[in-house]
Amino acid sequence: MTQRAKSGDRVAVHYTGRLEDGTVFDTSRDGEPIEFELGSGAVIPGFDAAVHGMAVGEHREVRIAPEDAYGERRDDLRVPIPRDQFPAGMTPEVGRTLAVQIAPGQDALATIADMDEDSVTLDLNHPLAGETLVFDIELMDIR
């Protein structure tokens, strides 16, 4: 009987992630497969669910809606910051990604979304928020 991946299994998968327009945003194909425990929350929920039930060597293509990936884009995660709060010598540029402290000991990535003379608007949404993701997944091993 063929072993199928289930919660609690440690799995190794190769994948390629694309946006709906075909743009590849990530792949493991040029390196080692990723390993994670199914059901542990280590990967986005839709990816975890897609691997459940797969057998070693099986390929699967799945479309993952935003709510099972990085969520919908949220306007409340666009935050204006006074320019004088930026470190001296740092020139903000739209599109630049920064690490920002959102709570003591907790950092997040933010993208500069907009700026004017007085403030810089940081977008704390994940870059893939609001996107439907398409993954080609191949289960390489179950441990």
Has this prediction a pTM greater than 0.75?
A: yes
What domains can you pick out in the chain, each with its CATH number?
10-71+128-142 (3.10.50.40), 75-123 (2.40.10.330)
Res. 5: pLDDT tops 90: yes
H-helix segments, 4-132: 45-51
User: What amino acid occupies position 68?
Assistant: D
Q: Helices H, strands E: what count in the chain?
A: 1, 9
Each residue's pLDDT tens digit, 74-119 = 999 999 999 988 878 888 899 999 888 888 888 888 999 999 999 9
The distance between the two most distant Cα atoms of the chain, rounded to a whole number of Å, is: 67
Give the H/E segment covering residue 80. strand 78-82
In whole angstroms, give the CA distance from residue 107 to residue 138.
32
The pLDDT tens digits of the residues spanning 58-78 come to 999 999 999 999 999 999 999
Compute the mean pLDDT over every residue in the chain, rounded to the nearest whole number. 94
